[in-house]
Amino acid sequence: MTEPALRAVGLSKHYGRRRALADCTLDIPAGRVVGLVGPNGAGKTTLLQLAAGMLRPTAGTIEVLGGRPGSGGAQLARVGFVAQDAPTYAGLSIADHLRFGASANPRWDQAAAEERIAALGLDPSHRAGKLSGGQRAQLALTLAIAKRPELLILDEPVASLDPLARREFLKVLMGFTAEHGASVILSSHLVSDLERVCDYLVVLVGSRVRVAGDVDDLVAGHFRLTGARCDPADLPAGVHVIEESHTERQSTFIVRAGGPPDTFAFTAEQLTLEDLVLAYMSQAASARPMLEPAR
């Protein structure tokens, strides 16, 4: 049986008295492109750094590809991580970075790395400290992909890329997963990008996982119900309200349900992924009780 890409049970992380992640339970299957989304300060970087073995949990457990994050060379070789600020060595050239990557990684793909640097129009003799922020991000992403990891963890990888570079990079990422059967977990605020490349989504708000699951299942299981003004208690059984809004005469509910709610009192529409994410974010803002993560 394939190990999950990431399994967390009751995972929490505190920085001193500040809670960054609370009681997070997740089971992310391998071979997927997973989008991690949530507002600023939600805990995304904390979760990704725990998965990369750069932080230790305060409570609970986390496993990545069946192993403890950061536990030895073999585990580290299986996981590629690009931090939010795309760290590189300012004094070293691009070619030096590639040489270093080759010496440190058993499955290093030098040809793919050189090809990508050329495709980006970067001069290998150029020092990393002289690159723009976006070029530095491209270098860090190239190094992570050339490592040929089984799981690639990317913290806001496209934030500093221009729209064309972003599209090109997401294409490279999809090619990488299709070709090597690798898993990818990436965080982003750009839900439209995630919608294009991700087949699994985790929404993290206020340190907690609000919802997680297959993108297709999530989209198929959420609806916007519109009808005459009423109370959530008037909705059919089996419907969980995520968000509600009311005018004098009309009520609109974003709900989670097993299928289109069986009622003549409302019109039901399916949501886009972006609507769904925004609904969970506003649910958290209004402190509605949390749903169990979808399986």
Ligand X SMILES: Nc1ncnc2c1ncn2[C@@H]1O[C@H](COP(=O)(O)OP(=O)(O)OP(=O)(O)O)[C@@H](O)[C@H]1O
Q: Which stretch binds ligand X (CB under 6 A): 13-21, 95-103, 141-149, 269-277?
A: 13-21
Choose between 139 and 205: whose C-beta lies nearer to ligand X.
205
Nearer to ligand X, 46 or 142 (CB): 46
CA pair distance 263, 265, nearest whole angstrom? 5
Secondary structure (3-state) at 63: strand
Looking up tokens 């509605």 gives 288
Per CB under 6 A, contacts with ligand X among 14-43 are 15, 18, 20, 38, 40-43
Contact present, 223 and 257 (Cβ < 8 Å): yes
- Chain positions 83 to 112 lying near ligand X, rule: CB under 6 A, are none
Which of 12, 46, 183, 283 is close enough to bind ligand X by CB under 6 A? 46
Scanning 12-20, 178-186, 209-217, 264-272 for contacts with ligand X by CB under 6 A, the matching segment is: 12-20
- 37 burial (CB, 10 Å; 0-12 / 13-18 / 19+) is buried
- Residues 9 and 122: their CA atoms lie apart, in Å, by 43
Q: Which is nearer to ligand X, 117 or 205 (CB)?
A: 205
Helix 133-146, helix 94-104: angle, nearest 10: 20
Q: How many residues bind ligand X (CB under 6 A)?
A: 11
Asked if 58 and 13 count as a contact pair (C-beta separation under 8 A), the reply is yes
Cα 283 from Cα 273, distance rounded (Å): 15
Minimum distance of ligand X from residue 11's CB (angstroms): 13
By beta-carbon proximity to ligand X, the closer residue of 172 and 190 is: 190
Written in H, E and C, the secondary structure of 145-195 is HHCCCCEEEEECCCCCCCHHHHHHHHHHHHHHHHHHCCEEEEECCCHHHHH
| 157 counts as binding ligand X under rule CB under 6 A | no
What order of strands is seen across the sheet that includes strand 208-214?
A: 79-82, 151-155, 183-187, 33-37, 200-205, 208-214
Among 12, 45, 135, 188, binds ligand X (CB under 6 A): 45
| Smaller CB separation from ligand X, 13 or 116 | 13
Q: Which is nearer to ligand X, 40 or 247 (CB)?
A: 40
Q: Which of residues 191-220 bind ligand X (CB under 6 A)?
A: none
The CB-of-2 to ligand X minimum distance in angstroms stands at 28
- Residues interacting with ligand X, by CB under 6 A? 15, 18, 20, 38, 40-46
